[in-house]
């Protein structure tokens, strides 16, 4: 019963993420006088609806998405209140606001998570494991790690992610701040283990110093954690493109639902609150990823629309919405094909064949 309630909570929280995204579009559309034909939460057939003013608000059967249908967004419209007849800078704000709202929500959720933490973690080495390899390669206690292989380290999340995506896990070039001086350490080695998939993984052999927990450090750590998560989203995508991360490691709705179920079960072995926080942490990561990936300059995504709007802003010539609509439609079907492929991998993983 408790497990079912927690899964329902996860679904509601996921839909909050979608709602916040679409509300960002809706708010700025109304602010700039754009007619919104429908604001929908969910996909598929309508199960509940009501109309307020010129907008139909609807709840749809499948809780996997939503949309904000604006007049003249993908087609020509003579209405002065259509999306297409607004200024380019106004349209850019409307389109970008969904992703921005997701990032703001991610900030608030990250802040909430850190408020529950007993301590905040810095990037400074406090001590080493017995027989640590890295300490014999020049890394010392009180070193603040600021770069690994040229990548800036904002929070402890960056450390584990850079260890994960590194093509060469045998050694690393690390920049540290030691007694106020920047020092570069070359060929720093760590213990490594081979996981069940036969992949070599780094096993850090040091601990990080805790920080004093107050409103200042909470806000700073929250901001840096969000920056790290944004970097991880971009870095993960680039890692797949470069072949550093297997395409099979990507997850779609099925994979996310599976992880939520798994982490909920793990959390319940400790407490209901631990299960609740596991779901909350996963969906915090998801809302930030949704914000970042939506800004990718690809057709059918908000970032792709922004590219067209920037061209309009620079050239001061409107692109024919019919042709732009075709491009976004093709992009949408390609995106759906990608999601189907990822879902196939997710199903294979569920049956132990991934």
- 251 SS3 class: coil
Going from the C-alpha of 107 to that of each of 127, 154, 283, 288, the distances in angstroms are 30, 15, 12, 8
Cβ distance 287 to 233 under 8 Å? Answer: no
Residue 331 CA from chain centroid, whole number: 21
Q: Which of 22, 73, 312, 324 is catalytic?
A: 22
Dump the DSSP string for 94-125.
Answer: HHHHHHHHHHHHHHHHHHHHHHH-SSEEEEEE
Token pair 């036969």: residue? 198
22 a catalytic residue? yes
- Six token digits for residue 232: 């991880």
d(CA 279, CA 112) in angstroms, rounded, equals: 13
Other CB atoms within a 10 A radius of the CB of residue 130 amount to: 5
By annotation, the residues acting in catalysis are 22
């Amino acid at each position: 019963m408790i497990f079912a309630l927690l899964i329902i909570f996860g679904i509601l929280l996921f839909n909050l993420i979608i709602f916040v995204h679409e509300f960002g579009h809706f708010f700025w559309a109304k602010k700039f006088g754009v007619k919104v034909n429908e604001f929908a939460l969910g996909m598929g057939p309508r199960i509940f609806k009501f109309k307020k003013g010129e907008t139909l608000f609807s709840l749809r059967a499948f809780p996997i998405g939503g949309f904000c249908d604006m007049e003249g967004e993908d087609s020509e419209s003579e209405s002065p209140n259509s999306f297409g007849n607004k200024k380019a800078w106004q349209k850019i704000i409307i389109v970008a606001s969904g992703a921005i709202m997701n990032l703001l929500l991610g900030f608030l959720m990250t802040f909430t998570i850190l408020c529950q933490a007993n301590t905040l973690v810095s990037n400074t080495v406090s001590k080493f494991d017995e027989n640590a390899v890295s300490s014999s390669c020049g890394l010392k206690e009180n070193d603040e790690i600021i770069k690994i292989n040229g990548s800036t380290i904002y929070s402890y999340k960056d450390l584990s992610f850079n260890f994960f995506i590194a093509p060469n896990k045998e050694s690393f070039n690390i920049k540290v701040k030691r007694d106020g001086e920047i020092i570069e350490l070359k060929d720093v080695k760590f213990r490594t283990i081979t996981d069940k998939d036969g992949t070599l993984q780094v096993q850090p052999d040091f601990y990080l110093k805790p920080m004093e927990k107050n409103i200042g450090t909470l806000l700073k750590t929250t901001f840096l954690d969000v920056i790290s998560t944004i970097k991880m989203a971009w870095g993960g995508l680039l890692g797949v493109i470069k072949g550093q991360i297997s395409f099979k490691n990507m997850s779609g709705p099925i994979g996310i639902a599976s992880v939520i179920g798994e982490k909920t079960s793990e959390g319940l072995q400790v407490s209901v609150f631990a299960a609740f926080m596991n779901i909350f942490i996963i969906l915090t990561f998801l809302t930030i990823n949704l914000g970042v990936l939506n800004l990718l300059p690809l057709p059918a995504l908000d970032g792709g629309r922004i590219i067209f709007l920037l061209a309009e802003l620079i050239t001061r010539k409107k692109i024919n919405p019919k042709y732009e609509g075709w491009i976004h439609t093709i992009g949408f079907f390609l995106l759906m094909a990608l999601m189907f492929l990822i879902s196939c991998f997710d199903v294979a993983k569920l049956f132990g064949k991934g």
